């Protein structure tokens, strides 16, 4: 009987052998259910072999071969093997974590047919002009379905209430649902035939019939945009491009033209974005530009059924554009022709638990593996990517002007908080400028990267601070809910009426968060329409979409927000950005803190003056002469990056070295440090060409009652570090680690 080697979702770095009964065909990449201990588990067949090292009587049989989804391709399995090896994570957990949740189950997937919607005969006979004008959303849905059938996701892009209004239209008999994915006028019918290598598919195949599709080409490219598009489309095989474009330079327009080019050649495009709140607006935008192309999204905001359906559309080749957050980098794409990573510098592309991969780096490997182009877009590239472009490893493409001829980069001014009147963290200068914008019916944005009312509550009598009893951090005051809440572990209590230490009733909020800024502005501008955008205010489903519609309709005068507002948004009426309290990053122990702050400030500053009205940015700081703020005022990313790279080279930091972090946490401090010291001794004994630093506490040394510490390893060459890790990890696996959690983080971003 043949033996299959199966990847299972267990924390062991091995495959497991099972027999397959005579007459049952099983392919590599196919899902199977197998017995494991007393459980039954789903796994993926990675190899088929003739013999096993295990005794025949110990090898159990496969229980069931699951045919509910196509097998994973050899290309995807090779990508997952690479990730398992590079990020030092068990192969089974790597493979299974890349799949939609439904495909990790040991039960066959019985999916409901995903409905598309079209006008019924009576709906087609409706006179839209005579349809009640108060039924705005229903009119939008009917108008959209007049053009073409749509699925629910496409209709939801019209309005937050589209789902409920669609049910009404179906009940009235004007709209009908039908199973399948025929929601596009011209689905891909390109026949793939064997031929010489073709860069459009990257798979040794060429397209015999070119797909024609509608393309809204209303936007004429600038000279720089056209040169960027030409450079990428004229490249054959793998190439990595860094598209360095200032905010508002039209990087998205470059993406659209590249997509059009690849779709014309019958290819699929993968577009990765850093955060889930950017996907709906981009999805709507690309749908408007490609009205008859099948675009699907992949992100954690989808239901399990939606995610599976979209993933399978990508796998079958039906989906021509896949737009998603970091996990979408593992989507099956048989005709992958181009990968785009938008805001490539963003830390959200790095997974911080489980398989700690960088989606940007995996995307680069995938493009190389496939032999296609990849575009990394950013106004503030990561120093690693910028260094790679400077050294010739990537190709640099620059967009130095804003796409709209009348739009200019905003003027940046620093306000010295030591030399001006302050009102609960907001300077009089900034408040005056906000008042002028309200009078001109323009919008202002106040950016403070801290939600809640105040970072800490303090007793004026004894100096007590609202520390979390489970963490080394402080509990944040949320005044509206009258709660103190820890943003690290989630612990919360009611605000005490008196100091728990001395009984003093005079408790003072110290510092500012988004709620406090909102409160100060309401007091100063009682008639102004103020909107707070942070994780607390957007917790409800569709809240952020509704807020975005309000902003675009100019129904908001002042925005108060965290980094959710810092990137990717285009608000034409926004002309003033105020940055509150950015100084903490200037004296952080994290060597990347200044890089992150500069990127964040450039992004949030870029929200101002994107249309015909000039924009202005006011940065409140105690250090107006700091080189970071000087570079920001001059819009000089290149100068700032060169200075930072020179510092990093001198200090021996990435990108001039490669790093791996061993992190350990447990309830007993002695056990945590004993494990790390033994791990360090084992590392030193290997005598590899790497630098082994000392054992130190984590930046937050106690979280949720767990002590946290870490050990950093550095290598001058990536190859040296990887060879060391392959030798070191088996030694870590056998160290006593009872009641401890440990993990290896390769290319860490958090310290």
pLDDT given at position 344: 96
pLDDT given at position 717: 96
Residues of the chain with CATH 3.30.70.600: 658-746
**What's phi and psi for 268, nearest 5 deg?**
-105, 150
Are 742 and 675 a contacting pair, CB within 8 Å?
A: yes
Residue 205 tokens, joined? 């195949």
Which residues partner with 179 through β-bridges? 115
Are 212 and 190 a contacting pair, CB within 8 Å?
A: no
658-746 CATH pick, 3.30.360.10, 3.40.50.410, 3.30.497.10, 3.30.70.600 = 3.30.70.600
The candidate with the shortest Cα–Cα distance to 605, out of 566, 571, 562, 637, is 566
Are 192 and 207 a contacting pair, CB within 8 Å?
A: yes
Are 517 and 446 a contacting pair, CB within 8 Å?
A: yes
End-to-end CA distance of the chain: 51
pLDDT given at position 151: 75
Question: In whole angstroms, what is the distance from residue 494 CA to residue 484 CA?
Answer: 6
Q: What one-character DSSP code corresponds to residue 251?
A: H
Question: In whole angstroms, what is the distance from residue 51 CA to residue 67 CA?
Answer: 25
Question: In whole angstroms, what is the distance from residue 37 CA to residue 361 CA?
Answer: 36
Residue 473 tokens, joined? 């951090």
Residues of the chain with CATH 3.40.1440.60: 3-104
The candidate with the shortest Cα–Cα distance to 611, out of 379, 401, 406, 399, is 406
Buried b or exposed e, range 482-494, using 16+ CB within 10 angstroms: ebbbbbbbebeee
For 159, other C-beta atoms within 10 Å of its C-beta total 19
Residue 532 tokens, joined? 């707070």
Domain with residues 411-454+511-647, CATH architecture: 3-Layer(aba) Sandwich (3.40)
Burial class (CB within 10 angstroms; exposed 0-12, middle 13-18, buried 19+) of 462: exposed
Structure confidence by residue, pLDDT tens digits, 415-437: 999 999 998 889 999 999 999 99
Segment (H or E) for 281: helix 279-289
Domain with residues 192-399, CATH architecture: 3-Layer(aba) Sandwich (3.40)
Are 341 and 349 a contacting pair, CB within 8 Å?
A: yes
> DSSP labels for 355-421?
S--BHHHHHHHHHHHHT-EEEEEESS--HHHHHHHHTTSSEEEEE-S-SSTT--PPEEEEEEGGGS-
For 520, other C-beta atoms within 10 Å of its C-beta total 18
The candidate with the shortest Cα–Cα distance to 113, out of 250, 274, 264, 309, is 309
pLDDT given at position 643: 96
Q: What angle do CA 744, 276, 330 make, to 5 degrees?
A: 55
* Regions in the chain scoring below 50 on pLDDT: 181-211
For 609, other C-beta atoms within 10 Å of its C-beta total 27
Give the pTM.
0.85
Question: In whole angstroms, what is the distance from residue 647 CA to residue 593 CA?
Answer: 13
> DSSP labels for 579-632?
E---GGGGG-S-TTHHHHHHHHHHHHHTTTT-SSS--EEEEEES-TTSHHHHHH
Question: In whole angstroms, what is the distance from residue 59 CA to residue 62 CA?
Answer: 10
The candidate with the shortest Cα–Cα distance to 344, out of 303, 308, 388, 302, is 388
Residues of the chain with CATH 3.40.50.300: 192-399, 411-454+511-647
pLDDT given at position 453: 81
Please report, for residues 104, 404, 453, 514, 519, the alpha-carbon distance to residue 508 in angstroms, rounded to integers and kept in the order given: 50, 48, 12, 17, 16
Residue 126 tokens, joined? 């409706």
Q: Domain 3-104: what homologous superfamily?
A: PriA, 3(prime) DNA-binding domain (3.40.1440.60)
């Amino acid at each position: 009987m043949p033996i299959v080697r199966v990847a299972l979702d267990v924390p062991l770095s091995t495959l497991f052998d099972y027999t397959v009964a005579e007459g049952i065909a099983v392919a590599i990449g196919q899902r199977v259910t197998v017995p494991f201990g007393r459980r039954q588990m789903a796994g993926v067949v990675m190899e088929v072999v003739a013999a096993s090292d295990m005794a025949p009587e110990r090898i159990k049989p496969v229980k069931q071969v699951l045919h509910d989804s196509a097998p994973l391709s050899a290309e995807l399995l090779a990508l997952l093997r690479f990730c398992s090896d590079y990020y030092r994570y068990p192969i089974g957990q790597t493979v299974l974590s890349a799949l939609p949740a439904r495909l990790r189950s040991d039960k066959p997937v019985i999916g409901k047919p995903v409905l598309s919607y079209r006008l019924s005969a009576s709906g087609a006979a409706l006179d839209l002009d005579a349809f009640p004008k108060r039924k705005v959303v229903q009119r939008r849905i009917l108008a959209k379905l007049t053009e073409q059938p749509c699925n629910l996701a496409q209709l939801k892009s019209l309005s937050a209430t589209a789902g409920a209004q669609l049910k009404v239209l179906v009940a009235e008999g004007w709209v009908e649902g039908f199973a399948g994915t025929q929601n596009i006028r011209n689905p891909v019918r390109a026949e793939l035939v064997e031929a010489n290598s073709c860069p459009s598919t990257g798979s040794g195949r060429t397209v015999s019939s070119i797909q024609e599709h509608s393309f809204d080409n209303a936007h004429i490219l600038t000279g720089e945009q056209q040169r960027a598009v030409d450079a990428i489309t004229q490249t054959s095989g793998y190439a990595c491009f860094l598209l360095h474009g200032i905010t508002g330079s039209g990087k998205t327009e470059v993406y659209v033209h590249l997509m059009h080019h690849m779709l014309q050649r019958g290819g699929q495009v993968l577009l990765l974005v850093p955060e889930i709140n950017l996907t709906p607006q981009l999805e709507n935008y690309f749908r408007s530009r490609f009205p008859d192309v099948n675009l699907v999204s992949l992100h954690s905001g989808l239901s399990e059924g939606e995610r599976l359906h979209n993933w399978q559309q990508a796998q079958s080749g039906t989906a021509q554009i896949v737009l998603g957050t970091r996990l979408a980098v593992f989507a099956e794409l048989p005709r992958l022709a181009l990968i785009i990573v938008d805001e490539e510098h963003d830390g959200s592309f790095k997974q911080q638990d489980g398989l700690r991969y960088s989606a940007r780096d995996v995307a680069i490997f995938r493009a190389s593996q496939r032999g296609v182009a990849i575009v990394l877009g950013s106004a503030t590239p990561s120093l690693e990517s910028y260094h790679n472009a400077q050294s010739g490893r990537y190709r640099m493409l620059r967009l130095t002007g804003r796409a709209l001829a009348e739009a200019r980069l905003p003027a940046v001014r620093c306000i010295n908080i030591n030399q001006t009147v302050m009102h609960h963290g907001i300077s009089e200068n900034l408040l005056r400028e906000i008042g002028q914008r309200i009078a001109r019916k323009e919008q202002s944005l106040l950016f403070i990267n801290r939600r809640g009312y105040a970072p800490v509550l303090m007793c004026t009598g004894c100096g007590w601070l609202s520390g979390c009893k489970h963490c080394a951090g402080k509990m944040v005051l949320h005044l509206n809910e009258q709660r103190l809440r820890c943003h690290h572990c989630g612990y919360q209590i009611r605000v005490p009426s008196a100091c728990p230490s001395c009984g003093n009733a005079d408790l003072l909020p110290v510092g500012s968060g988004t709620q406090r800024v909102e409160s100060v502005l309401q007091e100063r501008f009682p008639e102004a329409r103020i909107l707070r955008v942070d994780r607390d205010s957007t917790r409800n489903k569709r809240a952020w979409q509704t807020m975005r519609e309000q902003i675009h309709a100019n129904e908001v005068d002042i925005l108060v927000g965290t980094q959710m507002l810092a990137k990717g948004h285009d608000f034409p009426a926004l002309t003033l950005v105020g940055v509150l309290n950015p100084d903490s990053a200037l004296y952080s122990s994290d060597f990347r803190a200044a890089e992150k702050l500069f990127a964040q400030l450039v992004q949030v500053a870029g929200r101002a003056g994107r249309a015909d009205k000039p924009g202005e940015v006011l940065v409140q700081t105690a250090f107006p002469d700091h080189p970071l703020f000087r570079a920001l005022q001059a819009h000089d990313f290149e100068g700032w990056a060169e200075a930072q790279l020179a510092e990093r080279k001198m200090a021996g930091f990435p990108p001039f070295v490669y790093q791996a972090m061993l992190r350990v946490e447990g309830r007993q401090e002695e056990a945590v440090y004993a494990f790390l010291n033994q791990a360090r001794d084992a590392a030193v004994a290997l005598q590899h060409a790497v630098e082994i630093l000392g054992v130190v506490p984590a930046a937050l040394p106690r979280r949720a009652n767990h002590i946290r510490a870490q050990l950093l390893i550095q290598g001058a060459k990536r190859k040296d570090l990887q060879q060391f890790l392959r030798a070191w990890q088996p030694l870590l696996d056998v160290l006593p680690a009872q009641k401890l959690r440990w993990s290896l983080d390769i290319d860490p971003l958090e310290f």
